[in-house]
Amino acid sequence: MRVLVSALVGIALFAGCLGVWWFYFPVWKVETSVRKQLPDGFATFSGVKYNRSTGAGCGYVNVGSRPGLPRGTTHFVLLADGSLKFDPDDRMTGTTLQQLEALRKHTDYLALVYARCA
């Protein structure tokens, strides 16, 4: 009886470890790839998901107030080729042409999100 219980516990632990690896390992890879592309590598993540069919990772990253990077928490898309795209922070102000250009950047990013992350 002890052998049977020990075998069942061992199988349950193995299945649990395999489940954690299956679901968390891709998220960990996405977070690591994003950190490598940041200047100092420091960031906090939330809502990170990995789409196995497209190979893209999406979520929110907070890099603080570092120059050249989005301020505060912003959405990101890590494509399968390793390129990183941030949600554009362009404001819809200025002339009509400037507003249309900012709107185009936002719609291009949203199309990327729906194609890769949904």
Distance CA 107, CA 111 (A): 6
Please report the sign of the dihedral spanned by the C-alpha atoms of residue 85, residue 91, residue 62, residue 53.
negative
The 10s digit of each residue's pLDDT in 41-72 is 678 899 999 998 999 999 999 887 766 667 78
Q: 72, 27 in Cβ contact below 8 A?
A: no
pLDDT reported for residue 21: 62
Position 20 pLDDT exceeds 70: no
Tens of pLDDT, residues 90-115: 777 888 898 999 899 999 999 999 99
Q: Where are the alpha helices (DSSP H) in 38-95?
A: none
- Phi, psi (5° rounding) for residue 78? -105, 110
User: What single letter denotes the amino acid at residue 86?
Assistant: F
- Which two three-digit tokens encode residue 111? 């199309």
